[in-house]
Amino acid sequence: MASPGSLALVVPENPASKKAFTTFEVADICDVTPVTIQNWIDKGWLRAYRTPGGHRRVLRDDLLSFLDSRNIPHIFNERIGPPQILIVDDEKNFTELMRDILLLDNPDYEIEIAHDGFRAGLLYGNNRPDVVLLDLMLPGVDGFEVCRQIKQSTGGGDTVVIAVTGLDDPSHEERIMSLGASYFIQKPADTAHIRDLVRQTIDAKGARNPS
């Protein structure tokens, strides 16, 4: 039986419009046979439900969760569109400054701002941004917990977290990187460096580029 850990995908033409997939469609996505999909479902690796007619269906969120848990790359058309960036910091001057700098670099960026961890979680869940600029010391839910929740969420592995903090403690860098952050930047931050990191990340991902 094929291993679900290293598969090349054949992506459906318009998966974003579908809420559930047949086992044959999932087999096409994972480049395996429908029998393999049935086996994965029977083993509990892939969640599925039965229609009133007895046919198995896999919800899109369950499929995405499975692909992410097995580190299977995927490109769903719902990701097409302008690059999405979330800036999370309780310093309003910093968030507004970074928003202006990033928009000056690329007016096509769609940027959301959160000043606390709870709001950050809501905005992330709604938009699944490509990049999150994340302060670590936030009111309520701190940046460490925000990062952990992002990385454990469906599709969170695709989001690049750039930690930007005034905390002067090497253990904080080690901790946030272990939670899945890609970069750690000490304040006072070099805003040009952050801008370049965001640009490089978006370019590398080819994020939401309809061309």
Confidence of residue 38 (pLDDT cuts 50, 70, 90): very high
**CATH number of 15-77: 3.40.50.2000, 1.10.1660.10, 3.10.20.880, 3.40.50.2300?**
1.10.1660.10
- What top-level class would CATH report for the domain 81-202? alpha beta
**Cα gap 146→136, rounded to integer Å:** 9
For CATH 1.10.1660.10, the residue range(s) in the chain are: 15-77
Query: Is this structure's pTM higher than 0.95?
Result: no
* pLDDT tens digits for range 127-152: 789 999 999 999 888 999 999 999 98
Asked whether the beta carbons of 18 and 12 are under 8 A apart, the reply is yes
**Percentages (nearest 5) of helix, strand, coil residues in the chain:** 45, 15, 40
User: Is 14 or 152 the better-scoring residue by pLDDT?
Assistant: 152
CA-to-CA distance for 103 and 96, rounded, in angstroms? 11
More confident residue, 127 or 36: 36
pLDDT in tens, 44-91: 999 999 988 888 999 888 888 888 888 776 655 444 468 899 999 999
Stretch(es) of the chain classified as CATH 3.40.50.2300: 81-202
C-alpha span between 115 and 108 (Å, rounded): 23
Name which of 163, 158, 156 is nearest 201 in CA terms: 158
